Amino acid sequence: MTKNDLFDYRLVHSMRYQKSPFFPIFKRLGATSFLWYNHLLHAVDFDGQTKEQEYWAIRSGVTLWDVSVERPAEIDGPDGFLLMDLLTPRDMRRCQIGQCKYALVCDEHGGVINDPVVLRLGENRFWLCPSDSDVHLWAKGIAVGMGLNATVRLMDVYPVQLQGPKSPEVLRAIVGDRILSLRYYWYMQAELPGGIPTIITRTGWTGEVGYEIFLLDNGRAAEMIDLIMARGKPFGLIPAGPNHARRVEAGILNNQADMDLTTNLYELGLEWQIEPKERFIGKEALERIRREGIRRKLVGFEVDGEPAPHEFEGPWSVFKEGKLVGRASAFVYSPSLKKNIGLAMVDIASSTPGEQLEVQRPPGDRRHLAKVVPLPFIDPQKEIPKRRLGTP
């Protein structure tokens, strides 16, 4: 590493970097580096493990992640449903109690504020499990500004994820056969051995079968993780961090990287989120965008050559015939496809599959030949995470 390397710096410790009850436990399990995400420290790398080893554990085994950074924001009160329904283009009448929804939150211009997984806990009670941004402050502002009788608060609840094809067997060893009946994007309440209270959702960030476990008693964090590690040992369970190769293959977007306030659902290929209903914040803007059409689009691309470095400090520049046409927000090596793949927002004229582009790492690195390909790269129908359990 040279002195001029982009990554040659350190972060200073601060009280602003909060630590969840899982922080010391995952540090004990080997976490060596952390990301600042939603004001919490997020374990991303583990001693003695490569990202490729973790990738194959996700694809063929089982991994345990600390995703405390997704601590839920709760919406409750008599107008809780009204507030939740205003926040997202999705029709929340279609979300039953016990169900989860991936539901983007848009601003008045149709830009993306956040893309939480939403749990419906009651008629007017919801949990928003957010990506990186203070979506609870936006929700609170809407509630106050519109005079709604609804409360918005961050919960002192923190989740972990079990991800990979053997994750159902690990949970089966903990809570029994009932885990096999939990459907994709639904949740159940479960008391783990010893009376540890949890909510378990069948959700994740990998494109594999997976779960999130929300601990409802922070005093039992170490006990819960020790239990999961012990019951998972026969299945080869390892602790791991977020794996960008697997999420890019699956076409899973990363808020504040692949999308933000400057992007809209049509550009992102997420217009399926816009469901028929009378009103939601951003509706007029999104209708105008639909009528006028988009000028750019998020695409996948692939690049032959040596494996890309795991760390990505972007955006990278995208060129077509020497002209700047967009920016790449992800560039990573896919062990399954055996090639570099990425995500880029490019001019609409450059977004057709088969288009030949060039991507360049700033500042002034050589340009790599790239080809636009459809998204997602693997499993377009999501058959892997949706599969019925107990069957191959």
Supply the pLDDT for residue 5: 57
Does residue 259 lie within any of the structural domains?
no
CA distance linking residue 386 with residue 382, whole number of Å: 6
The answer on 207 and 354 residing in a single domain is: no
Does residue 256 lie within any of the structural domains?
no
The domain boundary, picked from 98, 127, 154, lies at 154
The answer on 221 and 91 residing in a single domain is: no
State the pLDDT confidence band at 366, using cuts at 50, 70 and 90: confident
- Comparing 201-205, 224-228, 315-319, the range with the smallest average pLDDT is 315-319
Q: At what angle do helices 221-232 and 167-175 cross, to 10 degrees?
A: 120
The domain boundary, picked from 138, 154, 170, lies at 154
pTM for this entry:
0.95
The answer on 380 and 238 residing in a single domain is: no
Query: What whole-number percentage of the chain has pLDDT above 70?
Result: 96
The domain boundary, picked from 132, 154, 176, lies at 154
Tokens read off for 143: 């509630």
Query: What ranges in the chain are assigned the alpha helix state H?
Result: 23-28, 51-60, 80-87, 135-145, 167-175, 221-232, 244-249, 265-268, 283-292, 383-386
Does residue 253 lie within any of the structural domains?
no
Does residue 13 lie within any of the structural domains?
no
Contact call for residues 43 and 34 (beta carbons, < 8 A): yes
Helix, strand, or coil (residue 326):
strand
- The dihedrals phi and psi of 383, each to the nearest 5 degrees, come to -65, -30
What's 381's domain CATH number?
Answer: 2.40.30.110
First vs last C-alpha separation in the chain? 45
Sort 334 into a burial class: Cβ within 10 Å, 0-12 / 13-18 / 19+: buried
CA distance linking residue 203 with residue 386, whole number of Å: 10
The answer on 240 and 199 residing in a single domain is: yes
Judge whether residue 1 has pLDDT over 70: no
Helix, strand, or coil (residue 203):
coil
The answer on 96 and 46 residing in a single domain is: no
Does residue 376 lie within any of the structural domains?
yes
What's 207's domain CATH number?
Answer: 3.30.1360.120
Contact call for residues 29 and 239 (beta carbons, < 8 A): yes
Does residue 88 lie within any of the structural domains?
yes
- Comparing 118-122, 130-134, 360-364, the range with the smallest average pLDDT is 360-364
Does residue 321 lie within any of the structural domains?
yes
State the pLDDT confidence band at 64, using cuts at 50, 70 and 90: very high
State the pLDDT confidence band at 231, using cuts at 50, 70 and 90: very high
The answer on 369 and 329 residing in a single domain is: yes
The answer on 61 and 165 residing in a single domain is: yes
Bigger pLDDT: 163 vs 313 = 163
Judge whether residue 209 has pLDDT over 80: yes
The answer on 308 and 226 residing in a single domain is: no
Judge whether residue 11 has pLDDT over 80: no
**Model confidence over 268-287: pLDDT tens digits?**
999 999 999 999 999 999 99
Residue 85: how many other CB atoms lie within 10 Å: 21
The answer on 324 and 203 residing in a single domain is: no
Q: At what angle do helices 80-87 and 135-145 cross, to 10 degrees?
A: 120
Number of domains present in the structure of the chain: 3
* Mean per-residue pLDDT of the chain: 94
Instruction: Please give the residue range of the domain that contains residue 93.
Output: 73-154
The answer on 326 and 198 residing in a single domain is: no
CA distance linking residue 35 with residue 41, whole number of Å: 6
Supply the pLDDT for residue 386: 96
The answer on 352 and 225 residing in a single domain is: no
Closest CA to 246 of 307, 336, 159: 336
Does residue 285 lie within any of the structural domains?
no
Supply the pLDDT for residue 391: 54
Supply the pLDDT for residue 183: 96
Judge whether residue 148 has pLDDT over 50: yes
What's 144's domain CATH number?
Answer: 3.30.70.1400
Judge whether residue 27 has pLDDT over 90: yes
Supply the pLDDT for residue 315: 86
The answer on 170 and 37 residing in a single domain is: yes
